[in-house]
Chain A
């Protein structure tokens, strides 16, 4: 399919049908992002729905020549963060004390715990993601799964790069800890 060029003059903005054609190839990616953020397919579908509408109504803000998928992922992440703030999406347990404990560990420059070495399954990753605070989850998702640079994440969520790095560090450590706990419970091999 030929990629359409988005023009930012208002009279040249795509119709709903044209927009739909443009975003069809992005739906799998946007759904996967939403699923990791919300933890279930129903909320992911709603989040994707809101993302499509928000993007379509703000097409004049889309910069010509930039990545449409990345722009929509940013919108989706921000919608999730706003929804979380308004408690539309109820997050899993958020344990900031655990996060702080990991932060302290980082200050001591200790070696992190050993990692599960077997293949990780989608549902266990999804479950572990839901057990870390949403603000950390969003940053981990953008960096690890979506390959955003720190600067892009900072711009997307409106935080300084230092905050992004801090959240990313804590989020990764928490995610790993959750996966390690899960691996121990299910008898998965852990490197010693």
Chain B
């Protein structure tokens, strides 16, 4: 990923709206491009400042009382409103009838093979969007291949050894973390992307969450590394292996406890 493309993803990245592969691509770019890293960090700080500016806004006590008083007055049911309520019941029955008829038609249409195929494709698409296929480790190579191919249909997929990683400009993350799954992508014979996926367990007491608000980048200043983790309830799944930090990224890391 080059600077213009990374910058296109600036706001979706900050808003945690990118899919996992693109997120990793952007992160990989930020690890090697200090200008973009500075830009992204600056924008993140700007967002934080905007939010912080609004934290002290309070709703004055007398205004609050006034609003609630007016609400009580207006919320009292009127005869017309009561009539409206009963009419809504009739309308509800009519709407339910229409819905039932629609469902019958929908069921008939779904019995055709194209309808079923479309439905299955949509379910699969949504599952990928929610990363359901990445929720358990160890992830098998077939699932991983399907996941990556689903994202980049014209890309060829390679599982890389340390030598190939060097060719692609990546580091041999197996030294940092044994068992990491390393995947390279190439488009028309040209390497375009590199993922290091890992299900390793980390001692998260060593790591600090870099940002609040759902971004799950954990950094370990002592080890000069970071992982991108994905939180699901109380469980944390690492999606990248430990990536070495340097330059601006490391200098912006919060101090270790």
Q: Which residues of A contact B (CB under 8 A)?
A: 10, 16, 19-20, 24, 27-28, 31-32, 35-36, 41, 45, 48-49, 52-53, 56, 106, 109, 111-112, 114-117, 119-122, 124-125, 143-145, 147, 149-150, 165, 168-169, 172, 175-176, 191
Contact = CB atoms under 8 A, between A and B. Distances in A.
Contact of B213 (A19, A56, A147): A147
A176 B45 CA distance: 12
Given A109-B7, A115-B43, A16 B76 contact: yes
Nearest to A35: B57
A109 B15 CA distance: 19
Nearest to B70: A49
Nearest to B56: A122
B71 interface: yes
B219 to A, nearest CB: 22
B95 to A, nearest CB: 13
B246 interface: no
B17 A36 contact: no
Contacts of B47: 144
Contacts of B85: 10
Nearest to A28: B59
A31 B59 contact: yes
Nearest to B12: A165
B53 A125 contact: yes
B82 interface: no
Given A45-B66, A143-B15, A145-B51, 6 more contacts: A52-B71, A112-B39, A115-B46, A144-B50, A147-B214, A175-B50
A169 B11 CA distance: 7
Contacts of A49: 67, 70-71, 74
A20 B76 CA distance: 13
Interface residues of B, number: 41
B206 interface: no
8 contacts: A45-B63, A109-B8, A115-B45, A120-B52, A122-B54, A122-B57, A150-B17, A165-B11
B11 A168 contact: yes
A16 B214 CA distance: 35
B3 A109 contact: yes
Q: Which 6 A-B pairs rank lowest in CB-CB distance, beginning with the nearest? A: A109-B4, A31-B59, A16-B75, A120-B53, A120-B49, A125-B53
A45 B70 CA distance: 11
A115 B72 contact: no
A19 B75 contact: yes
Interface in B1-52: 3-4, 7-8, 11-12, 15, 17, 35, 39, 42-43, 45-47, 49-52
Contact of B17 (A122, A125, A149): A149
A120 B57 CA distance: 13
Contacts of B99: none
Contacts of A143: 15
A168 B89 CA distance: 40
A175 B11 CA distance: 14
Contacts of A119: 49, 52-53
A20 B72 contact: yes
A121 B42 CA distance: 18
A36 B47 CA distance: 15
A176 B14 CA distance: 16
Contact of A111 (B12, B39, B57, B70): B39
Given A35-B57, A165-B12, A176-B46, A52 B51 contact: no
Contacts of B11: 165, 168-169, 172
A46 to B, nearest CB: 9
B36 to A, nearest CB: 9
Contacts of A125: 50, 53-54
Given A150-B17, A165-B12, A191-B42, A52 B67 contact: yes
A27 to B, nearest CB: 6
A130 to B, nearest CB: 14
B111 to A, nearest CB: 30
Contacts of A109: 3-4, 7-8
A128 B257 CA distance: 38
A125 to B, nearest CB: 5
